[in-house]
């Protein structure tokens, strides 16, 4: 009774191999049944996401079982064994338990700490439960992995800070304004990154969207897409009087908004705070604007700086998480070994019962003069 994992992830395999080996849609059920059908495998479960494919099993002989699972993968996905050897990792027993806990806690993720993987693992587990391919060992392992992941999330700050530029922008907006749904937002120009950040803000619900672009048609197009209102580019400073958040990325080679212009805008809006995100390179907003009261200007480097600092923080927290995981691996191993001793205990108890019976019979045979009452008492 041992946990065995055969798998690959974004570190060991390119996207095209991961695609070929993935168990998506109908393939999952078919794959699980065939996987469970392998003679060396007692329990089976498959986790398949864009970044990883992992097969979990309860086996007695890890070596034999891993060969058989590899063979199964090769046949199922029609991939050469030699290719598989290059990308697959195999963990058994303690290493496997640790690996599952690390995956669930998002320590093995592409972006450490991102929580999606836990949801995906839960789903995979639920599917396995539904198809009844798991049993005592894997059920306990998965339940434990989920609780370990929760413990890591509450006891460390691994998932606390934003680690992408658009997340960082939204997080900042939330610390400047209370409720984004009553704020209006302007998209000035349109680069890919600006659109991404805009989309992110929109997902958090803003009251009104204004789109300004050098070419008015493009502004109309984008306004359509974002369900907003297009304005002529020259009018944007006037629009800023009632705009709370601005994302700017125009591709202009110079500043399109200067400090004295902004000063006028602030006066007109009675100093209500403005959050400006200038994603353009070269910058489009005069950096001196940040000196104005109630104006918060962030450029791409500022945001990247925050992301880097947060990433560093996450890696520090990940070390704490690793310690938690070591602890939990220990407890799991204890549980597992107590399980191993169950048959021994049962055997011992049976043996004791047998001896008792024998001895009693001997005793009764030795004392034939005892009456029915005395025998019962004994």
Partner 1 sequence: MVTILFELALTFYFAAAIVSVMELFRGTKTTSRFVLTFAVIGFLIHTANIIARYVIAGHIPITNLHEASSFFSWCIVLLFFFLEYRYRLGLLGSFIMPVVFILMLSSSMLPRKIEPLSPVLQSYWLGIHTVLAFLGDAAFAMAFGIGIMYLLQEHYVKSKRLGGLFQRLPSLQILDEINYKLITLGFPLLTLAIITGALWAESAWGSYWRWDPKETWSLITWFIYALVLHARLTAGWRGKRAAILSIIGFAAVLFTFFGVNLLLKGLHAFK
**Residues in touch with partner 1 (CB under 8 A):** 160-161, 172, 174-178, 267, 269-273, 290, 293-294, 296, 298, 302, 305-306, 309-310
Structure tokens at 291: 């000196």
CB closer to partner 1, 78 vs 154: 154
Catalytic residue among 1, 50, 202, 311: 50
Shortest separation between residue 175's beta carbon and partner 1, angstroms: 5
Of 173 and 325, which CB lies nearer to partner 1 in the complex structure? Answer: 173
Q: How many CB atoms lie within 10 A of CB 261?
A: 15
Known catalytic residue at 50: yes
Please give the Cα distance from 210 to 239 (Å, whole number): 8
Nearer to partner 1, 72 or 296 (CB): 296
- Least Cα distance to 92 among 21, 5, 189, 217 occurs for 5
Closest CA to 256 of 230, 282, 274: 282
Q: Sheet harboring 41-48: ordered strands across?
A: 41-48, 52-59, 2-9, 89-92
Nearer residue to partner 1 within complex by CB, 175 or 373: 175
Closer to partner 1 by CB, 208 or 268: give it: 268
Q: How far is the CB of 132 from partner 1 (least distance, A)?
A: 39
Q: How far apart are CA 84 and CA 32, in angstroms?
A: 19
Q: Could you give the CA distance from residue 9 to residue 112 in angstroms, rounded to a whole number?
A: 14
Min separation Cβ 157 and partner 1, Å: 8
State the nearest-atom distance from the C-beta of 264 to partner 1, in Å.
13
Closest distance between partner 1 and the C-beta of residue 305, in Å? 7
Beta bridge partners of 49: none
C-alpha pair distances (Å), 324 with each of 119, 136, 200, 320: 20, 24, 33, 7
Q: Which residues are catalytic?
A: 50
């Amino acid at each position: 009774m041992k946990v065995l994992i055969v798998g690959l992830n974004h570190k060991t395999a390119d996207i095209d191999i991961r695609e070929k080996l993935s168990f998506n849609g109908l393939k999952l059920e078919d794959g699980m049944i065939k996987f469970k059908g392998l003679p060396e495998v007692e329990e089976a479960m498959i986790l398949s996401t864009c970044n990883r494919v992992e097969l979990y099993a309860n086996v007695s002989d890890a070596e034999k079982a891993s060969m058989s699972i590899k063979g199964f993968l090769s046949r199922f996905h029609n991939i050469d064994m030699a290719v598989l050897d290059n990308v697959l990792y195999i963990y058994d027993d303690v290493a496997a338990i640790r690996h599952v806990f690390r995956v669930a806690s998002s320590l093995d993720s592409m972006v450490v700490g991102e929580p999606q993987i836990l949801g995906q693992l839960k789903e995979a587990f639920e599917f396995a439960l539904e198809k009844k391919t798991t049993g005592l060992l894997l059920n306990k392992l998965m339940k434990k992995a989920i609780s370990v992941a929760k413990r890591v999330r509450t006891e460390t700050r691994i998932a606390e800070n934003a680690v992408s530029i658009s997340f960082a922008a939204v997080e900042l907006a939330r610390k400047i304004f209370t409720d984004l749904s009553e704020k209006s937002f302007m998209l000035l120009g349109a680069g890919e990154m600006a659109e991404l950040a805009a989309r992110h803000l929109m997902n958090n619900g803003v009251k009104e969207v204004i789109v300004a672009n050098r070419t008015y048609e493009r502004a109309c197009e984008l306004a359509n897409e974002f369900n907003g209102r297009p304005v002529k580019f020259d009018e944007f400073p006037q629009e800023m009087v009632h705009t709370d958040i601005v994302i700017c990325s125009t591709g202009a080679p110079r500043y399109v908004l200067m400090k004295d212009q902004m000063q006028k805008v602030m006066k007109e809006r009675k100093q209500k705070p403005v959050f400006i995100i200038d994603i353009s390179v070269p910058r489009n907003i005069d950096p001196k604007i940040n000196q104005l009261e109630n104006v918060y200007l962030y450029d791409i480097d500022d945001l990247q700086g925050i992301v880097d600092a947060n990433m560093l923080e996450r890696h520090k927290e990940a070390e704490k998480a690793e310690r938690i995981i070591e602890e939990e691996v220990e407890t799991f191993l204890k549980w597992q070994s107590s399980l191993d001793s169950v048959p021994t205990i049962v055997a011992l108890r049976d043996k004791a019962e047998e001896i008792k019976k024998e001895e009693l019979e001997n005793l009764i045979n030795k004392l034939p003069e005892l009456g029915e009452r005395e025998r019962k008492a004994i």
